[in-house]
Structure formats: C-alpha cells, structure tokens
Amino acid sequence: MDSLFIIYAVIATYFAISLAVSVFLAKRDDLDTMQKIAQIFLVWLIPYIAAIALWQFHKSQDRPIKSHSEFGGGPRDSSGAGSDGNH
C-alpha cells in the first residue's frame, strides 16, 4: 500500500510541475510559437529535469538588471591619491 501511494505521489507531482511550467511557458511573450511548443514538449518528455531547468532559466531572464556602482572617480580613489592634486 505504501509503495502504491509513493507512485501516485510521484506521478501527481510530475503532472503538477509539468502543467505549471507548461502554462508558465505558454504565457511568455518573448518566445515564438515554435519555441513554446518545443520547450513544452521537452517539459513533458523529460520529467522533472527539463521542467525545473526551463523554469529556472526563464525566471532568471525576468530578473531586473542591477545598476552597477560607479568605479572610482571620487575625491579619493582606491590608490590613495586624491583627484585634487594633494597627496
């Protein structure tokens, strides 16, 4: 009985993850129709690994780009020499 429950739990998890990632991919505006079809096909063909990998890849593309801090250029840079001519 316990092994049957585990099998059902694994199958249910597979369908839940695959369905969630398929909907996620279908709603993306930055993919062509063929890209969506191919990636959704991979999600269902290769359980767990493809679903999680494609979801993580596309989620990483959605993160806002952080602005970089200014490098040097202040009154004192990392060399210790001031820009005003006084050492």
Distance CA 19, CA 27 (A): 12
CA distance to 26, 52, 54, 63, per residue, from 16 (Å): 15, 12, 15, 24
Q: Delimit the domains of the chain by residue range.
A: 2-61
Q: What is the mean pLDDT of residues 6-12?
A: 90
Question: Looking at residue 72, what is its pLDDT?
Answer: 57
Instruction: Report the greatest alpha carbon distance in the chain.
Output: 82
pLDDT digits (tens, 9 = 90+) for 28-85: 988 899 999 999 988 888 877 777 787 788 887 776 656 656 665 556 555 655 555 5
Q: Is-above-0.75 flag for pTM?
A: no
